[in-house]
Chain A
Amino acid sequence: MLRILHNTNIDFIRLSRMTSIIIAVFLLPALLWIAADGVRLGGDKTFDYSIEFTGGTLVELRFAQAPDIGEVRSVVADAGYEGAEVQTFGSPTDIVIRAQGSESVAEQARGAESVAENIENALTAKFGAGSFTEVRTEAIGPRVGAELRRNAIIALLISFAVSLIYLAWRFDWRLGLASVLANVHDIVAVFAFIKYTSLELSLFVVGAVLTVIGYSLNDKVVVFDRVRELLRTAHKAPLRETLNRAINETLPRTVLTGTTVLACLLALILLGGEVLRPFALVLFFGIVVGTFSSIYVAGPLLLFIEKRWPRTATASVSRQGGEKKRPAVSRDAVTSR
């Protein structure tokens, strides 16, 4: 029988003092950076927002022969879009042009399609007809952009709220709160990652962040499910020990699931193509962080919450809801084996 991390007995709660320093070292500079950018450049510039959020036009063109980027850039600038970003996309023949400046957004308010048309006409004049094909275009008006941004924030908040309610119903509000707070940690860490790597914040990436929320909650649910079970069967042990035991016992599953999901994401990062890569990267990091926080963050948080608002001696962890009556499974201590 091949086993990893079998019968471990690591004091994760004690280790969490050390890991919280690592967390602080990772998060604080990013938060300061985001805050500084917010003050210096305005709230719209804290991240590299995609045109879905800022409004603007994106044109992806595939040239028959790799063009000189500088030349493309000057043609686009001469067409009146000086602030436009010109980059290769995956291969030297694929060029992405993003016009996100306020002038081009204003131009779009009158007719969203014109910017892409103008850029393509200018490039045709320079490089000749048929020298490139249009792979995709996106043109988004300012109102839609603002709304999408609002919707993304609402979606994040609602998924937190919905999860908190479900967990409070299934477990106990303390466990629910601890998982959601650990989750908030994950999301902040993911945004810090996005900031460090300067990944473009697009709808795709927001989708990835929401998926991280779901995955990370799963992980916490599994650990706390074990906490609930241990509390029911072994009341007398101090919570700290129970937590450690629950984390240790679920450790193989936590690591195995993390590994299979990361394997799939690795496949996406390697083979999935340029469009999906930011999405897969954010998910990859989010899953690493989610797994990490299931082990090091959620438990200590629960301990803290239990200290602040201790249970009355008789209150059971699974107060209500959804639990079938089942005979308490007699369990030996893992360490006895």
Chain B
Amino acid sequence: MSNLKYRLALIGVLIIASVFALLPRDVEERRRRPDGTFFDTTVTRVPLKYGLDLQGGMHLTLELDDSKRPITDKAQAIQQALTVVRNRMDGFGVSEPVIQQAGADRIIVELPGVDDRERAIDLVQDQAYLEFKIVDESQALERVLPRLDQVARQIGGTVPAQTQQAPSQPSARRGLEGLLTSGDTAGDTTAVASADSAATRDTAASATGGPFSSLLQQGGMPGEYYVAVANETRVTNLLANPTFRQALPPGKEMLFGNDTTRIANELYRAVYVVDSRPIITGDYIKSATPQQDPLEGTLVQFELNNEGGRRFRMETGRNIQREMAIILDGRVMGRPPTIQSAIGTRGQITMGGRDLQAAQDLALVLRAGALPTPLRVAEVRTIGPSLGQDAIRRGIEAGLLGIAMVILIMVVYYRFSGVLAVGGLAFYGLTTLAFLAAFDATLTLPGIAGFILSIGMAVDANFLQFERIREELDRGKTPRLAIDEGFRISWSAIIDTHVTTALTAAVLYQYGTGPVKGFAVTLIAGVASSLVSSVFVVRTLFQVWLARTRGNQALSI
């Protein structure tokens, strides 16, 4: 009977290992304070990983956005994007973010516990490409305005009624001018700027009536213009047109600012003419920290690395008294400051009226690096925490009811052998859960459903065996022989059924997404455990019974 001892010992080891795998243990978790910052804490819990649908959170699918310009090397672009998104999520403070590639051009981001949809999307989607460019002061735009109007006319057809009104409202323009001069109290530079603008306005006025020039109003300094927010789309569309862009002054480009100004009850957005060539980019950023300044509001201070600092010092030294636009993802951040003297490694970006969290997020994306290719959100799912708790409770209830019914069927139908089968079922449940914990698999709502379903399926092997044993007993065999034959002959059917289930589960895993994958994983774990429990554990229990009774007692089956 040493064979039996080894079998029992092996079962004991498996049970102990399973219990050990499921013991509550200390887990590092990152939690969020009410103010939005994060702290690490240690909690004790069962090491089963809950899927997003059970603990709440957010699932994002991002894809490379090739709508603006074609992507030459998708494989490389997606790799870079993965690194950047991963870096950003590390700083975002989610306990166990999942960031993985899916297909050729997708990234899946799973953020447990995150409920702020907009913020999370901004954080992964922002390109965070930082550039510094010198604002044009040579009135280059005014010189090409007639040509631009001509191009705009060709592109856009007729001048829309809305814009035709704009130049015919001198009072509004006067109001604009007045506000600008009185509103900007920054000192000498502004005074010069307004003098400049007075001069240029004449030029602009001479071109009045053009479909493009009529959308622009001179701003508070050279190279700055205002566009009514109502006309913003029109200008954006023009600027996106390649023919129009070609007609812009050589080596210059036009970019919108991020803030709006209210002038005479109408909202205006600034647009700047800047050099196409950046004097420096965000690639050289070493660190970035959010700050709150009583005068300037929230801002982000950054520090460049040595090489960046050298270049920045050289370039700014060459452009003293010029305005420098700080451009993030193609938008000019705040009003371009005037370069007073050569700047070294340190600088700052003012955030206008945005709150501290916006500054924190900007600092984070600057540190994490820019996304080389823009990403588009292809799929968003958010699951509130209440749904998961509900699902777990319902799952446990349904599971208990299912188990109770299966136990009832087994014990009523097979009596003592049914009890042995229930022992095998207990082993099955324990090892399946342990399997999930050990392989760090994620338990999802369909996973729970799969587990409950597999309880019903796990006893299938027992039915095959027990019915066979009954047949052998009918044939007049002794219990010992009937048990041996029953297990031996039913083996081929059992292995075939398990393999076919495992194969379909594998297909489901391969082609399913998210939660359905969780279903496939529990199914696979269930198949493995069920094979061991029915073929090995239940058989061992029968052998124990045979050893006890010395095989001369009738088998209750």
| Chain A interface residues (CB < 8 Å from chain B) | 1-3, 60, 62, 111-113, 116-117, 133-141, 143-144, 147-148, 151-152, 154-155, 158-159, 162-163, 166-167, 170, 203-204, 206-207, 210-211, 213-215, 217-218, 221-222, 225-226, 229, 249-250, 252-253, 256-257, 259-268, 270-273, 275-276, 279-280, 283, 322-323, 326, 329, 332, 337
Contacts and interface: CB of A to CB of B under 8 A. Distances in A.
Contacts of A138: 379-381
Chain B facing A: main interface SS: helix
Given A143-B378, A263-B456, A272-B394, A207 B504 contact: no
A137 to B, nearest CB: 5
Nearest to B503: A162
B237 to A, nearest CB: 14
Interface in B336-379: 376-379
Interface stretch (B82-90, B262-270, B293-301, B494-502): B494-502
A139 B463 contact: no
Nearest to A170: B496
B463 A163 contact: no
27 contacts: A1-B557, A133-B386, A136-B387, A139-B379, A155-B507, A159-B508, A162-B504, A207-B446, A207-B520, A211-B504, A214-B500, A221-B500, A252-B463, A256-B467, A257-B457, A257-B459, A260-B410, A260-B455, A260-B456, A260-B457, A263-B409, A263-B456, A264-B405, A265-B456, A267-B405, A268-B452, A280-B449
Interface in B449-464: 449-450, 452-453, 455-457, 459-460, 463-464
Interface in B504-557: 504-505, 507-508, 510-513, 515-516, 519-520, 523, 557
Chain A facing B: main interface SS: helix
Interface string B5-44: 0000000000000000000000000000000000000000
B492 interface: yes
Contacts of B463: 252-253, 256-257
Contacts of A152: 511
A226 to B, nearest CB: 8
Nearest to B493: A225
Interface of B: 61, 63, 103, 117-118, 121, 376-384, 386-387, 390-391, 394-395, 397-399, 401-402, 405-406, 409-410, 412-413, 415, 445-446, 449-450, 452-453, 455-457, 459-460, 463-464, 467, 470-471, 474-475, 485, 488-489, 492-493, 496-497, 499-501, 503-505, 507-508, 510-513, 515-516, 519-520, 523, 557
Nearest to A273: B394
B493 A217 contact: no
Contact of B377 (A136, A141, A158, A166): A141
Contacts of B379: 112, 138-141, 144
A329 B95 CA distance: 60
B100 to A, nearest CB: 16
Nearest to A323: B492
B152 to A, nearest CB: 24
B492 A144 contact: no
Contacts of A170: 496
Given A1-B557, A280-B449, A332 B504 contact: no
Given A135-B387, A262-B456, A225 B492 contact: yes
Contacts of A3: 470
Given A134-B382, A163-B500, A207-B446, A270 B398 contact: yes
Nearest to B449: A276
A40 B496 CA distance: 44
Nearest to A252: B467
Contacts of A221: 493, 496-497, 500
Contacts of A262: 456
B497 A222 contact: yes
A99 B536 CA distance: 52
A264 B501 CA distance: 18
B475 A2 contact: no
A313 B485 CA distance: 30
Contacts of B520: 207
Nearest to B498: A218
A265 B453 contact: yes
B217 to A, nearest CB: 29
Contacts of B384: 133-136
Given A270-B401, A329-B489, A159 B383 contact: no
B205 to A, nearest CB: 37
B409 A272 contact: no
A166 B382 contact: no
